[in-house]
Amino acid sequence: MQKYKDIGLKLTPQRLAILDFLDGNMDHPSADDIYKAVSVRYPTMSFATVYNTLDSLREKGYITELTIDPAKKRFDPCTKMHHHLICTSCKRVHDIHADFLLELPEQVKGDFRVTGNHIEFYGLCPTCDKGHERRI
């Protein structure tokens, strides 16, 4: 509980369960994924509690909202700048902690001062790739 003291939220048992679920979670879960996992322990918890907690955490910079899956928002507790590798079949998301030096041409960048980037790579994870026939 000590590690959550500075988060600026009232630390109810339900919110602590959400924070514990997110702590070190590399699966990029959706609000529904989090609700299903945490409501096992807290069956009276509402989906609104999960969503409102996630929204507060996002506003405070403790998680990042990913919009890589148009069907559902996903959340990343790793707020350090990184990129993603996304399986186009199962939608599994993997973090890539590497820098890619990209220079935008002046005619594209215009008057913008570029301060960062986020790159998404798409492909098939090893599990999904086994099910697809390779063509040469």
The predicted-structure confidence for 54-91, as pLDDT tens digits, reads as follows 999 999 889 999 987 778 889 999 989 899 999 999 88
Query: Is pLDDT of 105 > 80?
Result: yes
pLDDT at position 2 is 58
pLDDT of 136 reads 42
**Which regions of the chain carry the CATH code 3.30.1490.190?**
83-130
Considering the domain delimited by 83-130, tell me its CATH architecture: 2-Layer Sandwich (3.30)
CA dihedral 22, 25, 31, 34 (to 10 degrees): -70
Q: Which CATH architecture has domain 2-76?
A: Orthogonal Bundle (1.10)
pLDDT bracket for residue 130 (50, 70, 90): confident
From 121, 118, 119, 123, select the one nearest 134 (Cα to Cα): 123
Contact, 93 vs 85, CB < 8 A?
yes
Start-end of CATH 1.10.10.10 domains in the chain: 2-76
Contacts of 95 (CB under 8 A, 6+ apart): 26, 76, 78, 82, 83, 84, 85
pLDDT at 10: 85
Report d(CA 75, CA 35) in Å as an integer: 13
